Structure 1
Amino acid sequence: MASLVFSSPSSSSSALRRCGSFVSNESRCPISARNGVRCNLVEPLRFDNRKPCIPVLNDQMLPSFLASKHPENIIDKSGTRLRIFSGTANLALSQEIASYMGLELGKIKIKRFADGEIYVQLQESVRGCDVYLVQPTCPPANENLMELLIMIDACRRASAKTITTVIPYFGYARADRKTQGRESIAAKLVANLITEAGANRVLACDLHSGQSMGYFDIPVDHVYGQPVILDYLASKTICSDDLVVVSPDVGGVARARAFAKKLSDAPLAIVDKRRHGHNVAEARSLKCGDAAVDTDSFSNDVLQVIKSMLNVMLQVMNLIGDVKGKVAVMVDDMIDTAGTIAKGAALLHQEGAREVYACSTHAVFSPPAIERLSSGLFQEVIITNTIPVMEQNYFPQLTVLSVANLLGETIWRVHDDCSVSSIFQ
């Protein structure tokens, strides 16, 4: 049976000093230390999208309340401690978050038995601690979700004071409503499972729809990957007059509009998918030239492929807005198979767009996404690391930005009872 043990060397006091270097005392909520320092929010957070680098500081560069004390543990005024633990779904992101915060990941043992069952053991005390569990429920969604639930249960049984689940990518978010009769609403079910397991709060990044927040009966802090991507685009030499923000479907218009507003109020275009006629894929026979083909002889798998092909053929892509001679930036919350965004990019090129960029927070990358994204339709595909990208899925046009600083800052603000929404103002 395989087992994983996460631990890192102890360096609490130096890590505490490093924490002050990323965000100034004015732009971030300081640690509520024993001397009673309170929140002092002045300006929104600025992000560094490169890999976290920890500069060497001397005592003269530190805020006075950090330089004066060197506690062995991060302790707030109520005497509780902050602990961060990582599941196996995205250990690299968890390590970056801990590095930004000047902390070390908590020691936890996670292993899988031969029959697939998951075992979790915390290898340090969390009694009376504020615990943050970092675990996206990305593919394999069911395994990662079950691992998160068992981690929550372990913390609850270990007498943690509060348990906050940090879910960079919330799986099952697309199953947020009934579109046909007798369907389940899996997003609500997963929210119930997390709540009943013992979580006190959820910190999620770019949920597929805002209504998912209402499925939880506990507080939800919803953060956006937008600032990270916007900061990267601002560093590129693209004239603002040449930019147009494109929503790949009608459902993403609100997201694209908010993105365009931040990009110097860039114009907006919308790709509208419409069907030419009825769904012929439901017919019991097809015509190939003059010959009729009886589909009763086909297996269910073959029929599903035929239906998918016919659905694509019957979709008519219409563009609302002008992209001729412009740099089109397509914005979506996630890229799964990349079918929608690839067809939209092809339409934009057909309508005269000079370049097409794809921007998305969550890179699910189910096959055949890589083939579609690397086909030459996109100048650049910009994603974040909420979901780990496997090495074989990298291609030349891919850029991966880190949301570690964003999530780390949010954790600090939640822990210090400070405003989270002010980050995005």
Structure 2
Amino acid sequence: MTFVISGSASKSLATEIASFEKVQVIEVETKKFPDNEIYVRIPRKLSGKDCVVIQSTPSNDSLLELFFILDALRDEKVSSIVTFVPYLRYSRQDKQFLAGEAISAKTVLRIIDELSDKIFTVNCHFLDEEGMFNYHGVELWNIDVFPLLGEYFKRKFTDIVVIAPDKGSVKYAKKAAGVIGCEFDYLEKKRISCEEVEIKPKKMNVSDKNVVILDDIISSGGTIINAAEILKQQRAKKVMAGCVHGVFSKGIDHLLSTLDEVVATNTIETPVSKVSIAEYAAKKLFKL
């Protein structure tokens, strides 16, 4: 018998996924002590059961909670653990740029791997395709939901052009544009610091078009805002932004004041999580 184990960061998504497979959801009990240490308890005996743990990691606390959930389940001697991390924190630190840097993605995944039988995530930042990958000895299943974003915009708008905020993200724009059946392009971006970017002017065919800026992660939103301003100068009819992972480290009000619409999936639960990955993820988690 299989149970879905819901961490505190993915309660709605876990419930929705479980509903497609008609399995029971068990919500983990969590609390914080006065010194900010985290307490985790699995409120049911699960010895010999198969478990699917669903916990996104938008914060360090949610990542620690995931580690504690997995270790508690191992202590319970469950039969198997499939770990689904919709948003994998530290995935942007996947390689060493300067001597002595920690490869944080490797560290995180090795810990999860030690406590899991199989690991799934969604549009991992350092993976370009859907499927199973070996990353520093860890087998990781990557689920691609960019087509779901494409379907969302296709239902709502016509005369669409999909724009990537930089050349590195053009692969995402291409996937969504393939679903929509529209053109795609990219902007030229130069990163000045971890929070500051410069978008170089580039002439594109966006006049009187509904433009969708698409990326895997929107964090501070600075890149998206700069791109939107350039596109509006080129007479785009509407400028919208879509992403898989809505981190929104500076909130969303500044984005909504510049863009006509902001759309994210529910890998992280936000006020603009308008695209659900639940049905597609359920098929992957329970069929492999």
TM-score by length of 2: 0.90
- Asked if 1:87 corresponds to 2:7, the answer is yes
Change (3 A) 1:340 1:399: same
RMSD between aligned residues: 2.4
Could you tell me which residue of structure 1 aligns to residue 166 of structure 2? 249
Q: Cα–Cα, structure 1 residues 185 and 107, in superposed 2: closer, same or farther, change >3 Å?
A: closer
1:309-356 residue CA offsets vs partner (Å, 9 max, x unmatched): 9x65xx352326422222211110111111001101111111221111
**Native 8 Å contact 1:108 1:120 kept in 2:** yes
Q: 1:373, CA displacement in angstroms? A: 1.0
Q: Secondary structure at the match of 2:201?
A: strand
CA distance in 1, matches of 2:209, 2:73: 52
1:356 is aligned to 239
Contact 1:187 1:215 in 2 (8 A): no
Kindly provide the amino acid, as one letter, of the partner of residue 275 in structure 2.
Answer: L
Write the distance in 2 (CA, Å) between the matches of 1:134 and 1:96.
Answer: 11
Q: Distance in 2 between matches of 1:230 and 1:268?
A: 12
Query: What do residues 17-62 of structure 1 show as CA deviations (whole Å, max 9, x unaligned)?
Result: xxxxxxxxxxxxxxxxxxxxxxxxxxxxxxxxxxxxxxxxxxxxxx
Aligned mate of 2:61, from 140, 143, 149: 143
Amino acid at match of 1:255: Y
Higher-Rg structure is: 1
Is 1:269 aligned to residue 185 of structure 2? yes
Q: Given residue 261 of structure 1, which amino acid in structure 2 is its aligned partner?
A: G
Q: How does 1:377-392 map to 2 (within 5 A)?
A: 377-389=258-270
Q: Distance in 2 between matches of 1:231 and 1:274?
A: 30
Q: Are 2:84 and 1:210 aligned?
A: no
Matched with 1:128 is 48
Corresponding position of 1:338: 221
Query: Paired residue for 2:82?
Result: 164
Q: For the Cα contact (< 8 Å) 1:270–1:320, is it kept in 2?
A: no
Q: Secondary structure at 2:24's aligned position in 1? A: coil
Distance 1:347 1:105 in 2: 46
Match of 1:97 in 2: 17
Tell me, yes or no, if the aligned pair for 1:274 and 1:318 is still in contact at 8 Å: no
The 8 Å contact of residues 269 and 323 in structure 1, kept in 2 or not, is answered as no
**Is residue 2:100 matched to residue 1:182?**
yes
Q: 1:165 to 1:145 in 2, by over 3 A?
A: same
Secondary structure of the 1:214 match is: strand
Conserved? CA contact 1:109–1:120, under 8 Å: yes
Report Cα offsets for 1:211-245 as digits up to 9, x if no partner. Answer: 7953363432211222322222232241xxx2211
* Pairs within 5 Å for 1:283-362: 315-319=198-202, 321-362=204-245
In the TM superposition, residue 378 of structure 1 has moved relative to its aligned partner by 1.9
Query: Contact 1:323 / 1:352 at 8 angstroms: preserved in 2?
Result: yes
Contact 1:339 1:372 in 2 (8 A): no
The alignment partner of 1:181 has SS state of coil
**Identical positions, percent:** 31
Output one character per residue of 1:163-222: Cα deviation in whole Å (capped at 9) or x when no partner.
Answer: 1111111011111122333322111111111122x1111110111121795336343221
Gaps of 5+ in 1: 1-80, 280-306, 415-425
In structure 2, C-alpha distance between the alignment counterparts of 1:308 and 1:220, rounded to whole Å: 27
C-alpha displacement of 1:274: 4.1
SS at match of 1:219: strand
- Over 3 Å counting, the alpha-carbon distance change for 1:216 and 1:84 in structure 2 is farther
Code of the aligned partner of 2:253? E
Distance 1:308 1:192 in 2: 26
Q: Which residue of 2 aligns with 1:44?
A: none
Aligned residues: 285
In structure 2, the CA distance between the partners of 1:206 and 1:83, relative to structure 1 (3 Å rule), is same
Correspondence for 2:38: 118
The residue type paired with residue 57 of structure 2 is: T
Counterpart of 1:200? 117
Higher normalized strand content (fraction of residues): 2
Residue aligned with 1:251, SS: helix
What is the identity, as a one-letter code, of the residue corresponding to 1:209? F
Contact 1:137–1:145 (8 Å) recurs in 2: yes
Provide the C-alpha distance between the structure 2 equivalents of 1:108 and 1:364, rounded to a whole number of angstroms. 23
Alpha-carbon distance in 2 for matches of 1:83, 1:308: 40
Shift of 1:308: 8.4
CA separation of 1:308/1:137 partners in 2, compared to 1, >3 Å: closer, same or farther?
A: closer
SS in 2 for 1:179: coil
Question: Counterpart in 2 of 1:286?
Answer: none
Equivalent-residue separation in structure 2 for 1:94 and 1:216 (angstroms): 28
TM-score normalised by length of structure 1: 0.62
Structure 1 residues 115-166: Cα deviation after superposition (integer angstroms, max 9, x where no partner): 333333323232222211110011xx22111111111111112111211111
